[in-house]
Structure 1
C-alpha cells in the first residue's frame, strides 16, 4: 500500500512540496529559493535532508542555485552602503592607494580591544630607537669617518709626498745640469733653497740635488738634501781644503733620500757632483742613535767619527727610528778623491 504524500501548510496556506519565497525553518532568506530534498518515490518516512551546496567563499546562493560572488550587487551584498564602505577600504580614505603596512597605525590583533590614541602613540614611540642607540650610532659614524680621514692622511704622507718630492727633485737636478752645460752656474755663495750640487750614493741608487739650508719648506720637503750653511750650524763646502761638509735629508716621506743610509758600510762611495768637479768620499763610520741637540757631529773634526785630526769630511744626518724624529742617525765619510769634470766621471759612478 502506498502512503499518501502530505502537503505543507504555512501562513500562505496549503502548498505542495516545492520552493517557497522564504524558508520558515531557518534556511535561505526571502527572495531566494529554499533547498528542499527531492521526493522519495519509495517511502514518505521522515529523513534528514541533504545539506545545500556550499556557498561561493561563504557567499549566498542565487535564485538559480548558483553561488553568488562576494560584493555582488543585490540585497545579499549588504546594499549600497556596504558597497561604498568596501570601495572606501580598498582605495583608502581619499580614494588613493591603500596605505603601506609600515605606515598604518597599530591595529589590535583578533580578540584584542581597539587601542586608544594614547596607547597607539606610546607603542609607536616604543618602536623608535632609544637615545643610547642613537648615540652609539653617532659615535660609530664618527669613528668610521675618523678612520677614513686617517687612512687618507697616511696615504698622502707615505705615497703622495714621495711622488711630488721626486718630481720636484728630478726637475731641480735637470735644471742644474742644464745650467752647468750652458755655463750659467755661479760657484760660491748660494741663497737659501738654491741648488748647487748633486749627491750620488751608488749603493743605494740615490741621485738627489743638494740645496743651501735645511729648511723643511724650502729644501727638505721638496725631496732635496740640505747643506748646513746657515748661522751657528754653518759647515764647510766640498771645495774647502779642510772642514766638514754637513748634509741633512728626510728618512721617510717627501722623497726620503736618506731612508737606507743605515745600510752603508765602511768603504762605500759617496760622491758630490758640482759644476766643475766630483768629490769622492768613502764611508768611515756610523752613529746609530744620538740626540737631535748633538751638534758636535758637525764639528770640523766631528766627535765620535774616529777622525784624529783636521781633514775633508762629509756628514749625513737623518731621523731615527723610521717614521719618527725622536733621535738622529749619523753617517761620516772621508774625501779620497777630487776629480775635475773635464776628466769624466769617477770610477764610483761608472761601475
Structure 2
C-alpha cells in the first residue's frame, strides 16, 4: 500500500505544480498584453486624420512642439523649415515602425531649422522624445541608442525588430561627413 500512496502523492504534486505553472504563465501573458506592452494602448486606434506631427524633446532646448513636415530625403525646402519626417518610413501609430525624423544641427538663421538639432549629441539613454499626432495623441519614447553612420547607410531607417521606435538624425560636427542618429523606443501612448 505504501508504494501506491507514494506514487499517487507524486502524481498529485506534479499535477498541482503543472497547474500552478500554467496559471502563472497565463497571468503573465495577460498582464503583459494589458500593462507591459505600450502598443496595446493604441493597437485598436485608427490612424489620425492626417500625417501632421509635432516633436518635443525636453532635453533639447530648441525642440518644443516643433512642426514635423513630411517628405522624401531630398526635400530640402521642408528640412530648412524645421524637422522632416522621411515619408518612406513609418509613423508612430504604426506598430513596429521606425519613425525617422531629420533636422539640421546648424540650419539657417531666421528659419525653423536654425540650431534645431544642435544638442542632439547631448541626449542620453532614458531621455524622452515625444511626438504628438494631429488628433492630439502623444507617443512617448525613451532613448536607448546613439550611433554615427555614413550618409549612405540607409539600413538605419529600417524598423528595429520587436520595437516601435523613433529615430532623430542630424549631421556630425564639425565635418558634416557622417550622420548622428539617436533612437528611442515607444514606452507610452496617451
TM-score (norm 2): 0.66
Deviation at 1:256, TM superposition (A): 2.2
Which of 280, 296, 309 is residue 140 of structure 2 equivalent to? 280
1:266 and 2:122 correspond: no
Q: Which structure 2 residues correspond to residues 194-233 of structure 1 after superposition, within 5 A?
A: 196-205=52-61, 206-207=63-64, 208-213=66-71, 214-222=73-81, 224-229=82-87
Q: What is the Cα deviation at residue 216 of structure 1? A: 4.8
Q: Alpha-carbon deviation of 1:253? A: 2.3
Report how many aligned residue pairs link the two structures.
134
1:237 maps to 2:99: no
Q: Is the 8 A contact 1:243 1:310 kept in 2?
A: no
Q: Tell me which of 46, 49, 64 is aligned to 1:187.
A: 49
Does 2:140 correspond to 1:295?
Answer: no
Task: Say which one has the larger Rg.
Answer: 1
Q: Distance in 2 between matches of 1:221 and 1:280?
A: 25
Higher relative contact order (CA 8 A, sep 6+): 2
Which has more strand, going by share of residues? 2
Shift of 1:248: 0.5
CA contact (8 A) 1:215 1:226 kept: no
What are the within-5 Å matches in structure 2 for residues 72-87 of structure 1?
Answer: none
Distance 1:295 1:250 in 2: 18
Aligned to 2:9: none
User: Does the 8 A contact of 1:272 with 1:279 survive in 2?
Assistant: yes
Answer yes or no: is 1:329 the counterpart of 2:180: yes
TM-score between the two structures when normalised by the length of structure 1: 0.37
Secondary structure of 2:80's match?
helix
Structure 1 moving runs of 4+ over 6 Å: none
Give the one of 137, 161, 167 matched to 1:315.
167
- The Cα shift of 1:215 comes to 4.3
Unaligned runs of 5+ in 1: 1-185, 191-195, 302-308, 340-351
CA RMSD after TM alignment: 1.6
Per the alignment, in what secondary structure is the counterpart of residue 59 of structure 2?
helix
Alpha-carbon separation, structure 1, partners of 2:184 and 2:131? 12
